[in-house]
């Protein structure tokens, strides 16, 4: 059944990706409304060969809307999501605002699609790094419960938004021209640099991004006792996040068993050629829907119960816009 859809935050990186994915997947639309700040109102964006005008987001924006795909920031989501629900819409929210609300399902369709059924108007999209990790580890968890996860992320600058991508590109141009490298969007220079994720650091030393991966995985898996520790890092890559994941299972599990499970897992593509030294790379994950998985090997310290993985996925697509549209397709 065709839906009247609004995109909240349409001019951002994820908003633009919503448009691409809705078109690519031929999502059944009765109408499409593009919403953004007053500053962006009046701009036009291409969709299915037509120019659609961006409207200012107001409390009156949701009349007649069935579905809102939201990616306009946490404060905007907290203000406008309830307004949209009161107007009769279902909101799939890509911000962190409602992820830990016990009344709001947090969904990765390959993992817990059944949770969509108990929504009360808002469905939360997980953090991008959480999604990219959860897609390949969930099918393994189902056959051999995971006791502990140790993950290190290598996160592209697009995770900080379209302006961060533009800043890295400008830094490349300036360096090539022999000009001084400047920064105004990201806290640190991205070009030729690697730095800890710049979200706020708690008293225990974990930053917000790392805490999200811990708490969101527990909620999505309905497994509050799973132990997760994360280190999140920004790298000078334009698009697609990469992660090194160490898994401790309850019972022994071989490389061959892991590969067999992952070869049948939805949303996963194995890229694991030791002879050619060919494994997941963000340059190949970018603009794709699957999470690439490779470096599948036994952790030699865990007596057969440990496996290491190296994964890469497009965090704007599967880590954000695609995941939200996949949720919407199930409504």
Q: What is the mean pLDDT of the chain?
A: 97
> Backbone phi, then psi, for 16, in 5-degree steps?
-65, -35
Same domain membership, residue 151 and residue 290 = yes
Pairing of strands 241-249, 146-155: antiparallel
Q: pLDDT digits over 102-120, tens only?
A: 999 999 999 999 999 999 9
Q: pLDDT digits over 289-327, tens only?
A: 999 999 999 999 999 999 999 999 999 999 999 999 999
Q: pLDDT digits over 125-178, tens only?
A: 999 999 999 999 999 999 999 999 999 999 999 999 889 999 999 999 999 999
Same domain membership, residue 54 and residue 159 = no
Same domain membership, residue 176 and residue 190 = yes
Q: Output the domain CATH number for residue 281.
A: 3.30.360.10
Output the six-digit token pair for 92: 């799939």
Same domain membership, residue 141 and residue 40 = no
Same domain membership, residue 70 and residue 169 = no
Domain count, the chain: 2
Rounded to whole angstroms, the maximal C-alpha distance in the chain is: 61
Identify the burial level of 299 via C-beta atoms within 10 angstroms of its C-beta, where 0-12 means exposed, 13-18 middle and 19 or more buried: middle
* Domain region containing 86: 3-126+320-329
Catalytic residue numbers, as ranges: 128, 241
Same domain membership, residue 296 and residue 153 = yes
Same domain membership, residue 90 and residue 38 = yes
Q: Specify the pLDDT at position 1.
A: 86
Same domain membership, residue 151 and residue 73 = no
Same domain membership, residue 112 and residue 33 = yes
Place of tokens 């996963």: 268
Q: Output the domain CATH number for residue 70.
A: 3.40.50.720
Q: Specify the pLDDT at position 318.
A: 97
Same domain membership, residue 163 and residue 93 = no
DSSP secondary structure string for all residues of 139-187? HHHHHS-EEEEEEEEEE-GGGG-HHHHHHHHHHHHHHHTTPPP--SSSS
Same domain membership, residue 118 and residue 224 = no
**Exposure class string for 181-194: b at 16+ Cβ within 10 A, else e:** bebebbeeebbeee
Q: pLDDT digits over 68-105, tens only?
A: 999 998 999 999 999 999 999 999 999 999 999 999 99
Same domain membership, residue 185 and residue 104 = no
Q: With bands split at pLDDT 50, 70 and 90, how would you rate the model's confidence at 32? A: very high
Cα separation of 312 and 206, whole Å?
Answer: 23
**0.75 surpassed by pTM:** yes
Average pLDDT on 202-228 reads 97
Distance between first and last Cα of the chain: 10
Q: With bands split at pLDDT 50, 70 and 90, how would you rate the model's confidence at 19? A: very high
């Amino acid at each position: 059944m065709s839906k009247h859809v609004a995109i909240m935050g349409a001019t951002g990186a994820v908003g633009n990706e919503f448009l691409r994915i809705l078109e690519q997947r031929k999502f059944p639309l009765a109408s499409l409304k593009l919403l953004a700040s007053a500053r962006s109102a009046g701009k036009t964006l291409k969709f299915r060969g037509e120019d659609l005008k961006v409207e200012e987001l107001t409390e009156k924006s949701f009349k007649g809307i069935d579905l809102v795909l939201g990616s306009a920031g946490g404060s905007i989501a907290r203000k406008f999501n309830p307004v949209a629900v009161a107007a009769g819409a279902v909101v799939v929210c890509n911000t962190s605002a409602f992820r830990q609300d016990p009344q709001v399902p947090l969904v990765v369709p390959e993992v817990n699609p059944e949770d969509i059924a108990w929504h009360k108007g808002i469905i939360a999209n997980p953090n991008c790094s959480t999604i990219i990790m959860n897609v390949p580890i969930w099918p393994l968890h189902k056959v051999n419960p995971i006791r502990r996860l140790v993950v290190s992320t290598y996160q592209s600058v697009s995770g900080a938004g379209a302006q961060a991508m533009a800043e890295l590109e400008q830094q490349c141009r300036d360096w090539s021209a022999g000009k001084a490298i400047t920064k105004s969007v990201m806290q640190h220079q991205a070009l030729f640099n690697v730095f800890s994720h710049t979200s706020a650091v708690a008293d225990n030393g974990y930053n917000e991004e790392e805490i999200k991966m811990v708490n969101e995985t527990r909620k999505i898996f309905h497994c509050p006792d799973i132990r997760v520790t994360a280190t999140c890092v920004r790298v000078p890559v334009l698009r697609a996040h990469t992660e090194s994941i160490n898994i401790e299972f309850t019972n022994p599990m071989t490389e061959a068993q892991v590969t067999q499970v992952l070869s049948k897992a939805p949303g996963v593509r194995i890229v694991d050629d030791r002879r050619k030294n060919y494994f997941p790379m963000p340059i190949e994950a970018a603009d794709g829907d699957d999470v690439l998985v490779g470096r599948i090997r036994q952790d030699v310290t865990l007596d057969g119960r440990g496996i290491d993985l190296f994964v890469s996925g497009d965090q704007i697509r599967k880590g954000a816009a695609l995941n939200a549209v996949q949720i919407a397709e199930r409504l």
